[in-house]
Amino acid sequence: MAKPSQKSRLCPDPIPHPEDTVIPALGKAKIDSPLRHGRFISDDSRVLLDVHTTSCDTRGDNTSSMEEAGPREKIYFDPSKTKCAVVTAGGLCPGINDVIRSIVLEAFHNYGVSAVMGIRYGLEGFIPKYGHEIMELNPMAVSRIHQFGGTILGSSRGPQSIDGIVDALERLNINILFMIGGDGTMRAAEKIQQEIAGRDLRIGIIGIPKTIDNDIQYVSTTFGFDTAVGKACEAIDCAHTEANGAPNGIGLVKVMGRESGFIAAQASMALKDVNFVLVPEDPFELDGETGLLKALERRIRRRGHAVIVTAEGAGQDLLKSTGQTDASGNPVLGDIASLLIGSIKDHFKKAGIDMTLKYIDPSYIIRSVPANTNDRIYCGFLGQNAVHAGMAGKTAMMVSRWNSQYVNVPLQLITRGGRKRIDTCSNYWRSVLESTGQLSYFQGDGVV
């Protein structure tokens, strides 16, 4: 299978010096942090980008490491006068409410900020013409929100005036804006910060990466991904049961993953029942001796059942482009599942093999459920570290977990680099292929 696909880039450009993450309009931090537990993190403390090493390793500079996240001994904002705001934008993801809750609890209980405002329905909430009311967030208001999926603030896609957003921040006297969103939200965050710098305002912009597709660079795994994979596994398990329940049964499952197939790959790794995993990063052919249909026929002839998992963005080159984009400019994809269903049925009919195909699309279920325990813990850390960064006067950065450490990533790194995709030359992808065994079916030497 597979025309060779591009190898993903890890760290193409130098990371700006840590001072770059401080709000330009602020001077030196002077206020003693109110926190009294654990250790304070120095702005010099760095986390290596790549934990692999060689005997001639000379790293430790700011091009191969990231600033460590966490509480600073000196903070910029006087908590009793500090007003924060939280906004959620883009598609849903398990755990958004846990992040909101963590921000609110940290800001109130550990720093004693004066207010946290919830901006409703994404960037629209800043723009008066939409008429969305501001929601007041406090520990009482968020006490049970982690029990629910989605976002209590609501979300939206589509561009809004950056001027209008900064006008709203000024009008509301916001000092720190927490933006929970994906790559699109981080691009908006960077533009908002640039407008803030242009107006010489003392407002910090802190991003928290949210995407079910796990496609943001410099985040090992995004929150909610683990939950979504778990939910996808339930659907795949059912597809396997259906496939086993009929002679020559084929189970087909489509999961989210617009341009990055991490959910499909990870769920396939979790359940070794998957025989073919199709992702946008690894193009495949349908027809011919090395195509998917022939490979599937080989699998059915040998084993009498098969499970296929496809990311929604897989095989787009086999489909007519819709030529459409959503409100945020994301491509509207062609339906790979319809193409697969039609082609598989035709192929087996022509081959004279009776088969049964059952298709399961868990669709939005995998991203709108509440977060699992692991994701909840992760969301808690992200929210707390976002508040630490905001109170320390940081801006134009995103909190992240990298190599099991929490780090502050400059937004430029996210917005300049492309999205995170599966590296089809990596050991990870090799492990996925080993787990499905699909290469042997594609190559026609299918071992059982």
Ligand X SMILES: Nc1ncnc2c1ncn2[C@@H]1O[C@H](COP(=O)(O)OP(=O)(O)O)[C@@H](O)[C@H]1O
Ligand Y SMILES: O=P(O)(O)OC[C@H]1O[C@](O)(COP(=O)(O)O)[C@@H](O)[C@@H]1O
**Catalytic positions:** 213
CB of 93 to ligand X, least distance (A): 8
Of 61 and 326, CB closest to ligand Y: 326
- CA 248, 253, 258, 260 torsion-angle sign: negative
Q: How far is Cα 88 from Cα 390, in angstroms, rounded to an integer?
A: 17
With CB under 6 A as the contact rule, the residue among 128, 139, 159, 444 that binds ligand X is: 159
With CB under 6 A as the contact rule, the residue among 258, 388, 394, 420 that binds ligand Y is: 258
Of 189 and 253, CB closest to ligand X: 189
Q: Determine if 94 is a binding residue for ligand X (CB under 6 A).
A: no
Q: Determine if 195 is a binding residue for ligand X (CB under 6 A).
A: no
String marking each residue 343-382 x if it binds ligand Y according to CB under 6 A: ------------------------x---------------
Q: Determine if 326 is a binding residue for ligand Y (CB under 6 A).
A: yes
Structure tokens at 257: 């993953």
String marking each residue 30-69 x if it binds ligand X according to CB under 6 A: ----------------------------------------
Of 57 and 326, CB closest to ligand Y: 326
Instruction: List interacting residues with Mg ion (CB under 5 A).
Output: 182-184
159's contact among ligand X, ligand Y, Mg ion, none, with CB below 5 to 8 A by partner kind, is ligand X
Of 235 and 296, CB closest to ligand Y: 235
Q: How far is Cα 228 from Cα 87, in angstroms, rounded to an integer?
A: 22
Of 289 and 317, CB closest to ligand Y: 317
CB of 311 to ligand Y, least distance (A): 9
Interface of this chain with ligand Y, residues 419 to 438, rule: CB under 6 A: none
The set of residues, in sequence order, having a beta carbon less than 8 Å from that of 310 and lying 6+ positions away, is 252, 253, 254, 255, 264, 277, 278, 336, 337, 340
Considering only 83-91, 280-288, 337-345, 394-402, which stretch makes contact with ligand X by CB under 6 A? Answer: 83-91
With CB under 6 A as the contact rule, the residue among 128, 158, 245, 418 that binds ligand X is: 158
Q: Determine if 213 is a binding residue for ligand Y (CB under 6 A).
A: yes
Binding-site size for ligand Y (CB under 6 A) equals 13
Interface of this chain with ligand X, residues 285 to 324, rule: CB under 6 A: none
CB of 254 to ligand Y, least distance (A): 11
Of 243 and 382, CB closest to ligand X: 382
405's contact among ligand X, ligand Y, Mg ion, none, with CB below 5 to 8 A by partner kind, is none
Q: How far is Cα 265 from Cα 253, in angstroms, rounded to an integer?
A: 12
Considering only 47-55, 127-135, 208-216, 428-436, which stretch makes contact with ligand Y by CB under 6 A? Answer: 208-216
State the Cα angle at 406 between 404 and 408, rounded to 5°: 140
Q: How far is Cα 222 from Cα 245, in angstroms, rounded to an integer?
A: 36
Q: Determine if 328 is a binding residue for ligand X (CB under 6 A).
A: yes
With CB under 6 A as the contact rule, the residue among 94, 154, 184, 383 that binds ligand X is: 184
201's contact among Mg ion, ligand X, ligand Y, none, with CB below 5 to 8 A by partner kind, is none
Q: How far is CA 411 from CA 192, 342, 388, 433, 436, in A?
A: 11, 43, 17, 34, 37
Of 119 and 256, CB closest to Mg ion: 256
Structure tokens at 409: 């990533």
Q: Determine if 211 is a binding residue for ligand Y (CB under 6 A).
A: yes
CB of 183 to ligand Y, least distance (A): 7
Q: How far is Cα 219 from Cα 66, in angstroms, rounded to an integer?
A: 12
Interface of this chain with ligand X, residues 196 to 215, rule: CB under 6 A: 211
Considering only 39-47, 84-92, 224-232, 372-380, which stretch makes contact with ligand X by CB under 6 A? Answer: 84-92
Q: Determine if 181 is a binding residue for ligand X (CB under 6 A).
A: yes
Interface residues with ligand X (CB under 6 A)?
Answer: 89-91, 122-123, 156-159, 181-185, 187-188, 191, 211, 328, 330
Interface residues with ligand Y (CB under 6 A)?
Answer: 90-91, 182, 211-213, 256-258, 312, 326, 330, 367
